Amino acid sequence: MATLPPPNTKEFPKSSLEKKVYNIVELFIEHLPIMNDRNRLAFGLYKYLSGEGDPPEVLVPGSKLRIEGTTGNELAKKIAEELKKITKAPEESTEEIT
């Protein structure tokens, strides 16, 4: 049997929200040494910015990440500051459910 080469991977455009979020998480490589942890965190942050997920203050402690050299709360604050630089965070809904 022959082994086929892996399929080509299409990268996100540099201006896309996904690429910006993944780049932010890569800034913290010294605190998040495991690549899979960084990918899971970036996906969660992308969902947050899309209005579907939890903010970094909830996401970082709840994701069971291996964090080195800092605490989860400090890392969440640093990530939140970086997210503010790329886009305005989604605002909480103030409508009442009836």
Q: Does residue 8 lie within any of the structural domains?
A: no
**What's the pTM?**
0.76
Q: Does residue 5 lie within any of the structural domains?
A: no
Domain count, the chain: 1
Please tell me the predicted confidence (pLDDT) of residue 45: 95
Q: Does residue 91 lie within any of the structural domains?
A: no
Domain of residue 81 covers 17-86
Q: Does residue 94 lie within any of the structural domains?
A: no
Q: Does residue 57 lie within any of the structural domains?
A: yes
Whether the predicted pLDDT of 98 surpasses 70? no
Q: Does residue 53 lie within any of the structural domains?
A: yes
Please tell me the predicted confidence (pLDDT) of residue 29: 94
Q: Does residue 75 lie within any of the structural domains?
A: yes
How high does pLDDT run on average in the chain? 86
The C-alpha atoms of residue 60 and residue 1 are separated, in whole angstroms, by 44
Per-residue pLDDT tens digits for 40-59: 999 999 999 999 989 999 99
Report whether 89 contacts 53 (CB < 8 A).
no
Average pLDDT over residues 80-87: 89
**Tokens 């998480």, residue located:** 25
